[in-house]
Protein backbone atom coordinates (compact mmCIF):
# COMPACT_ATOMS: atom_id res chain seq x y z
CA UNK A 1 0.00 0.00 0.00
CA UNK A 2 1.06 3.50 0.87
CA UNK A 3 4.00 2.37 3.00
CA UNK A 4 5.41 0.32 0.11
CA UNK A 5 5.20 3.33 -2.20
CA UNK A 6 6.89 5.58 0.35
CA UNK A 7 9.63 2.99 0.81
CA UNK A 8 10.19 2.80 -2.95
CA UNK A 9 10.35 6.60 -3.23
CA UNK A 10 12.82 6.72 -0.33
CA UNK A 11 15.06 4.12 -1.98
CA UNK A 12 15.03 6.00 -5.30
CA UNK A 13 15.92 9.30 -3.60
CA UNK A 14 18.66 7.66 -1.49
CA UNK A 15 20.18 6.01 -4.57
CA UNK A 16 20.22 9.33 -6.44
CA UNK A 17 21.84 11.10 -3.49
CA UNK A 18 24.63 8.54 -3.16
CA UNK A 19 25.39 8.57 -6.90
CA UNK A 20 25.55 12.38 -6.85
CA UNK A 21 27.92 12.35 -3.87
CA UNK A 22 30.46 10.21 -5.74
CA UNK A 23 30.31 12.54 -8.74
CA UNK A 24 30.87 15.58 -6.52
CA UNK A 25 33.94 13.94 -4.98
CA UNK A 26 35.44 13.45 -8.45
CA UNK A 27 34.66 17.05 -9.42
CA UNK A 28 36.30 18.41 -6.27
CA UNK A 29 39.45 16.34 -6.86
CA UNK A 30 39.77 17.40 -10.52
CA UNK A 31 38.68 21.04 -10.11
CA UNK A 32 42.20 22.45 -10.56
CA UNK A 33 42.65 20.57 -13.84
CA UNK A 34 39.23 21.71 -15.07
CA UNK A 35 39.99 25.38 -14.32
CA UNK A 36 43.43 25.08 -15.95
CA UNK A 37 42.03 23.61 -19.18
CA UNK A 38 39.10 26.06 -19.29
CA UNK A 39 41.52 29.00 -19.21
CA UNK A 40 43.03 27.96 -22.55
CA UNK A 41 39.77 27.34 -24.42
CA UNK A 42 38.94 30.35 -26.57
CA UNK A 43 36.27 31.32 -29.09
CA UNK A 44 37.29 32.96 -32.37
CA UNK A 45 34.92 35.66 -33.70
CA UNK A 46 35.66 36.09 -37.44
CA UNK A 47 33.04 38.79 -38.22
CA UNK A 48 34.97 41.47 -36.35
CA UNK A 49 38.48 41.61 -35.03
CA UNK A 50 39.65 38.40 -33.50
CA UNK A 51 38.58 38.20 -29.89
CA UNK A 52 39.51 35.64 -27.33
CA UNK A 53 36.92 34.83 -24.74
CA UNK A 54 38.24 32.81 -21.89
CA UNK A 55 35.83 30.54 -20.08
CA UNK A 56 35.93 31.03 -16.32
**4-56 pLDDT per residue, tens:** 999 999 999 999 988 888 788 887 777 777 766 666 665 554 444 444 455 54
Tell me the C-alpha to C-alpha distance, in Å, between residue 34 and each of 12, 14, 30, 42: 30, 28, 6, 14
pLDDT of residue 28: 79
What per-residue confidence (pLDDT) applies to 51? 47
- Cα separation, 25 vs 38, whole angstroms: 19
Q: Regarding predicted confidence, which is higher, 48 or 2?
A: 2
Q: Note the pLDDT of residue 42.
A: 53
The angle subtended at Cα 27 by Cα 26 and Cα 28, nearest 5°, is 90
- Reported as half-sphere exposure (CB side, CA atoms, 13 A), residue 31 has a value of 6
Amino acid sequence: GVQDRLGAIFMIVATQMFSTMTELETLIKERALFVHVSFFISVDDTKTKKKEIFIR
